[in-house]
Amino acid sequence: MLPRKIETYALYVALLVAWVAMLGSLYFSEVRHYVPCLWCWYQRILMYPLALILPVGLLRRDEELPYYMLPFSVLGMMASSYHYLLQKTTWFSGTTACSVGVPCNLDYINWLGFITIPFLALIAFVLIFFATVVALTSRDSLWKDEEQIPWQPVAAIIALMALLFTPSFLSATPATEPVRPLSSSVALPGQELYEESCGVCHGLRGEGIEGLAPALAGSARTEETPNKTWIDLVRAGIPADHPDNQSGIAMPPSGGRPDLTEADLAAILDYLRALSEPAE
């Protein structure tokens, strides 16, 4: 048998990368309960189709496969780069695209100070883009000498990924639903503000999220700190290297929402205190 061509290997690598990226992002959202922001969603929209186009194209020995991959990988690189700059610089701080829901400049993970989720996505898109270019340059001869693409490597890659990720998906705890009643007339004004700006890290009911941020409902600080001190603390945030930081994870100033007013933060505090009151 002729040795497989480098182009075929590049496409297998792209397949592997697309599956790691897809299942990895689902792991963050479904197992760790990190709520994806708007730009995370755009990157998902560009990554997930690759995970499915690639195996079909490979198995069908489609010479045009690199062309289908191209727009996804190019737009994906652009989306991840933009998202990374949103997180790490202030160049686009005036942009409003992310001001609803989860702030896009939140770093859920920040390994070594620069590896965030969009950074990982960018690496994945770049790898897939290189594989695309390699396959494109040899498109005409891509699968000429080969009888057929063996389905085993394709199946093996997908099966391996499924095997690696399934246990954590199965053991995931269910996400808490927002407690907002259908008619919001009885909800406290702070509830919506809390859910959209703090709940992503502290849990939608203030119960905390393992490995991310502590519980706020019922915590000693929520119950006992005077309002003003509490608001000032939230305003200032707790940088990861601050001596008072308990977890090594940063609490962003104002929870990443500099637009929240004193009154908004006071309303959030009222809501948090109400959460830990026994239900009537």
Between 161 and 238, name the residue whose CB sits nearer to ligand HEC: 238
Site string for ligand HEC, 59-98 (x = CB under 6 A): ----------------------------------------
Between 106 and 149, name the residue whose CB sits nearer to ligand HEC: 106
Between 104 and 260, name the residue whose CB sits nearer to ligand HEC: 260
**Structure tokens belonging to residue 145:** 């000498």
* Separation CA 251–CA 244 (nearest Å): 11
Q: What's the Cα-to-Cα distance from 193 to each of 79, 226, 263, 280, rounded to whole Å?
A: 27, 20, 11, 24
Site string for ligand HEC, 227-256 (x = CB under 6 A): ------xx---x------xxx-x-xx-xxx
Site string for ligand HEC, 191-230 (x = CB under 6 A): ------xx-xxx----------xx-x--x-xx--------
Between 191 and 254, name the residue whose CB sits nearer to ligand HEC: 254
Look at the block and give the residue holding tokens 């090594």. 248
Look at the block and give the residue holding tokens 């990982």. 120
* Separation CA 12–CA 5 (nearest Å): 11
CB of 26 to ligand HEC, least distance (A): 20
268 makes contact with ligand HEC (CB under 6 A): yes
Beta-carbon contacts of residue 245 (< 8 Å; ≥ 6 apart): 238, 239, 251
Size of the site for ligand HEC (CB under 6 A): 27
* Separation CA 25–CA 41 (nearest Å): 10
Between 58 and 234, name the residue whose CB sits nearer to ligand HEC: 234
* Separation CA 269–CA 37 (nearest Å): 24
Between 150 and 178, name the residue whose CB sits nearer to ligand HEC: 178
CB of 261 to ligand HEC, least distance (A): 11
**Structure tokens belonging to residue 104:** 């896009």
Beta-carbon contacts of residue 196 (< 8 Å; ≥ 6 apart): 100, 101, 102
CB of 267 to ligand HEC, least distance (A): 10
On the 0-12 / 13-18 / 19+ scale of CB atoms within 10 A, 201 is buried
| Residues of this chain that bind ligand HEC (CB under 6 A) | 106, 197-198, 200-202, 213-214, 216, 219, 221-222, 233-234, 238, 245-247, 249, 251-252, 254-257, 260, 268
